[in-house]
Amino acid sequence: MPELKYLSTVFTEMTGALCQLMTMIRYDDSSVSKSPNSFQAAGSVQREPVTA
């Protein structure tokens, strides 16, 4: 199943990029109001591959 391998690679790269983006946002923004939204977004994105 080459498609499945490709999809898993894309998911891994997207998750890694998202984590990098989140750390940059957390370090650059001192506002705490954005943190819960960012964490919720990351959780929903990471939960999708598990349920699929």
Q: CA–CA separation, 7 vs 32, rounded Å? A: 34
In this prediction, residue 3 has a pLDDT band, given cuts at 50, 70 and 90, of: confident
Residue whose C-alpha is closest to residue 18's, from 36, 40, 37, 45? 45
Give me the amino acid identity at 40: Q
Question: So what's the pLDDT on residue 30?
Answer: 54
Tens-digit pLDDT profile for residues 18-51? 888 888 776 655 554 555 555 555 555 554 555 5
Give me the amino acid identity at 23: T
* Distance from chain centroid for Cα 33: 19
What are the tokens at 45?
């994105």
